[in-house]
């Protein structure tokens, strides 16, 4: 291996496997290179502007070549799962959103959905469609944050301003519905916390009419941009077999040519009733991941439009299940009904009880398969909650993707895996 031969721009995807052995997540410098005495070990992060949070990479450099890499995580560990064991079921809902603070609605839904699966609760259609709508808006939001920050790290600062302009519109929509811009806690076990406010549909229509033009703008800036192509094409390669072996999901998996999307293969919410395409690119490089993100945003806009079509005809329908053992009674009943007052008091103080059992509920979050394992002993608090965090898994591919990379490409490659460190460390 020489210091000059490793620039791989435009390289095609490799055959077979490149996963390092015996430790799949650590790339070791070959002994021959180590023996030259020119290998320098540097510490990249945990406080570095381009690590999307607090990721630490221990990098072996031979000239500009990255010969070894090991990711060190845990700087944001806050013990969410332990905390949730101490809270009643409905108080837990605020925690999952804070795990991945960029795709909060999806995280909120995966926990609520898991508990509903244990409870065998039927959700009214209005709540199902609204949840689908918000999850898709949230997907666009998450992809915009990814696009803005990843492009920023590669020097395309204008991209950041454009992406955050539209992100602001989405956060305004969230604020209109829920009262909060982020961490909305709008999904309640059984449905939605409140009815959809008047004026939301026209505002959301304005956004869906505008968004395709904005995506056209982004593509004009980047898709055929020579600098962008040189910084992304043929870099961070991951073959389909390696992506599956390393547990990759979401855009990373689809950019490696695997046609897999939980919204289509194991539909949840209203996804079996909406029409959307799943973008797949076979190149397995950073550029393919960029293309997947862009196309997914277009598809999400289409899904949001279809949800709006349905929701606009559902005026006056219930937005939460009518199971008084689980769902809070309507506010106005508390003044007239003793029974409602008792239910309200019991749910708020003790919490409701969830039948004994264990479930694993998985959905397609913007970053891939997020799963929620929930175990109940029949009491008012979870016995164990565990999240399968797609970012945590994505970072395991760092060593494989960094094979033959240069130090400057490392930022593009780590960025393309779309990790949120809050979710990695939980």
Partner 1 sequence: MYEGTPGFVEERVAHGETTVVVEPAQLVDAGRHLRDEEGFNFLSDITAVDYLGWGKAGVSGYIGTAAGRDLNTPMTQGYQVVPLAKPKRFAVNYHLLSITESPRRVRLQVWLDEGEPVATVIPVWPTADWHEREAWDLMGVAIEGHPNLKRILLDDDWEGHPLRKDYPLGGEPVRFSGEE
H or E, element range at 21:
none
Structure tokens at 171: 């956060």
The window from 61-69, 213-221, 346-354, 403-411 that contacts partner 1 (CB under 8 A) reads 346-354
Instruction: Name every residue whose Cβ is closer than 8 Å to that of residue 342 and which is 6 or more positions away in sequence.
Output: none
Cβ closer to partner 1: 41 or 86? 86
Q: What is the full DSSP assignment across 82-113?
A: HHHTTS-GGGTTHHHHHHSSSSHHHHHHHHHH
Among 156, 163, 320, 362, binds partner 1 (CB under 8 A): 362
Give me the least distance between CB of 266 and partner 1, in Å please.
6
Cβ closer to partner 1: 128 or 178? 128
Query: Which residues, in sequence order, are bridge partners of residue 360?
Result: 373
Among 39, 221, 375, 407, binds partner 1 (CB under 8 A): 375
The window from 2-10, 305-313, 320-328, 387-395 that contacts partner 1 (CB under 8 A) reads 387-395
Residue 342 lies near partner 1 (rule: CB under 8 A): no
Residue 142 lies near partner 1 (rule: CB under 8 A): no
Instruction: Name every residue whose Cβ is closer than 8 Å to that of residue 206 and which is 6 or more positions away in sequence.
Output: none
Structure tokens at 21: 């052995």
Q: What is the full DSSP assignment across 367-388?
A: TEEEEEEEEE-SSSS-SEEEEE
Query: x/- contact string, 47-86, with partner 1 (CB under 8 A)?
Result: --------------------------xx--x-x-xx---x
Tell me if 192 sits within 8 A of 130, measured CB to CB: yes
Among 193, 320, 393, 401, binds partner 1 (CB under 8 A): 393
Residue 349 lies near partner 1 (rule: CB under 8 A): yes
20 CB-contact burial (10 Å; exposed 0-12 / middle 13-18 / buried 19+): middle
Among 265, 272, 322, 339, binds partner 1 (CB under 8 A): 265
The backbone region for 35, taken as left when phi is positive above 0, alpha when psi lies in -120 to 50, beta otherwise, is: alpha
The b-or-e profile of 354-368 (16+ CB within 10 A means b, else e) is beeeeeebbbbbbbb
Tell me if 324 sits within 8 A of 88, measured CB to CB: no
Tell me if 105 sits within 8 A of 137, measured CB to CB: yes
Give me the least distance between CB of 179 and partner 1, in Å please.
27
Give me the least distance between CB of 371 and partner 1, in Å please.
5
Start-to-end C-alpha separation, the chain: 39
The window from 35-43, 166-174, 318-326, 359-367 that contacts partner 1 (CB under 8 A) reads 359-367
Residue 339 lies near partner 1 (rule: CB under 8 A): no
Place of tokens 């968004």: 211
Among 236, 381, 404, 405, binds partner 1 (CB under 8 A): 381
Among 266, 272, 342, 348, binds partner 1 (CB under 8 A): 266
Query: x/- contact string, 89-128, with partner 1 (CB under 8 A)?
Result: ----------------------------xx-x--------
Tell me if 382 sits within 8 A of 92, measured CB to CB: yes
Catalog residues that contact partner 1 under the rule CB under 8 A. 19, 22-26, 73-74, 77, 79, 81-82, 86, 88, 117-118, 120, 244-247, 258, 260, 265-266, 346, 349-351, 353, 356-360, 362, 369, 371, 373, 375, 377-381, 383-384, 386, 388, 392-393, 395-396, 425-426
């Amino acid at each position: 291996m020489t210091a000059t031969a490793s620039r791989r721009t435009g390289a095609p995807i490799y055959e077979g496997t490149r996963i390092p052995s015996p430790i799949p997540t650590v790339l070791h410098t070959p002994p021959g290179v180590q023996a030259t005495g020119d290998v320098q070990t540097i510490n990249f992060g945990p406080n570095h502007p381009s690590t999307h949070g607090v990721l630490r990479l221990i990098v072996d450099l031979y000239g500009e070549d990255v010969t070894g890499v090991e990711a060190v995580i845990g700087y944001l560990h806050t013990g969410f799962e332990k905390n949730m064991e101490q809270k009643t079921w409905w108080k837990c809902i605020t925690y999952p959103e804070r795990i991945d603070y960029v795709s909060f609605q999806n995280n909120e839904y995966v926990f609520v959905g898991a508990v509903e699966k244990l409870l065998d609760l039927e959700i009214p259609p209005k709540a199902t469609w609204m949840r689908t709508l918000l999850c898709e808006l949230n997907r666009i939001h998450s992809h915009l944050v990814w696009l803005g920050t990843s492009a920023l790290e590669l020097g395309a600062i204008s991209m950041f301003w454009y992406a955050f302009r539209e992100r602001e519109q989405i956060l305004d929509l969230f604020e209109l519905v829920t009262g909060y811009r982020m961490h909305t806690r709008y999904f309640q076990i059984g449905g939605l916390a409140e009815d959809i406010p008047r004026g939301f549909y026209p505002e959301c229509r304005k956004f869906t009419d505008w968004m395709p033009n904005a995506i056209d703008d982004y593509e004009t800036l980047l898709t055929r941009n020579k600098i962008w192509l040189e910084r992304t094409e043929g870099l961070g390669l991951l073959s389909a077999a390696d992506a599956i072996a390393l547990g990759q999901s979401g855009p990373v998996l689809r950019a490696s040519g695997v046609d897999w999307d939980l919204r289509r293969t194991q539909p949840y919410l209203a996804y079996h009733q909406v029409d959307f395409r799943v973008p797949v690119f076979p190149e397995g490089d950073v550029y393919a991941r960029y293309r997947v993100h862009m196309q997914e945003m277009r598809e999400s806009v289409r899904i949001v439009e279809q949800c709006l079509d349905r929701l606009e005809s559902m005026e006056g329908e219930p937005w939460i299940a009518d199971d008084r053992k689980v769902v809070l009674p309507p506010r106005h009943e508390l003044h007239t009904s003793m029974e409602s007052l008792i239910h309200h008091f019991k749910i708020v103080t003790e919490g409701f009880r969830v039948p004994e059992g264990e479930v694993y509920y998985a959905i397609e979050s913007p970053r891939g398969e997020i799963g929620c394992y929930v175990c109940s002993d029949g009491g008012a608090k979870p016995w164990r909650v565990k999240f399968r965090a797609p970012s945590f898994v994505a970072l395991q591919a760092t060593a494989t993707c960094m094979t033959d990379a240069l130090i400057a490409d490392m930022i593009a490659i780590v960025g393309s895996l779309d990790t949120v460190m809050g979710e990695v460390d939980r």
